Amino acid sequence: MLVNCAGMSLSGKFEDLEVSTFERLMSVNYLGSVYPSRAVISTMKERRVGRIVFVSSQAGQLGLFGFTAYSSSKFAIRGLAEALQMEVKPYNVYVTVAYPPDTDTPGFAEENKTKPLETRLISETVSVCKPEQVAKQIVKDAIVVTMGLFRTIALFYLGSFDSIVRRCMMQRAKSEIADKTA
């Protein structure tokens, strides 16, 4: 089994992010999973057994405010995994994608320093998971081929995330009007 868990996050509004941020996240998050997968795929096919796990993110199945660069790099992993699964299934090689939520890691702490308000509020709607808890769930999902707990949870929260963004936008508009009339 190969578990691809390379990843980093940089947040910000689309128009505020440099194109180099998109390039960097694609390089780390997407290509950081392509290279190791290419290194093992031939051997797995020859042996006619294997499993490749791609660790995406909740933001890899739901495009989230402030994560235009991050979400797109994690969505790319989903596309890679789905296409690769079609290629390797005849060889008894299986691909799983995990969509973990916010996890208490040094990277998450760093990410929180620059999150826009909307992104922080969305993030606060769920509790932060412990790395051990996430790892156990990823292994469980890899062994039992299902939609996965994390993906199911993400679909539940999508509507509330849209509501948070709308409320912040309306609050900003009210503040701008108040500033203009003051």
Active site residues: 56, 70, 74
Order of all β-strands in the sheet with 93-98: 2-4, 50-55, 93-98
3 state DSSP class of 50:
strand
Cα Rg of the chain, angstroms: 18
Q: Tokens 């390379």 identify what position?
A: 6
Instruction: Judge whether 161 and 111 are in contact, CB under 8 Å.
Output: no
CA pair distance 59, 73, nearest whole angstrom: 9
Q: Give the helix/strand (H/E) hosting 119.
A: helix 117-123
Neighbours of 132 (CB within 10 A): 10
In terms of C-beta density within 10 A (0-12 exposed, 13-18 middle, 19 or more buried), how is residue 99 classed?
buried
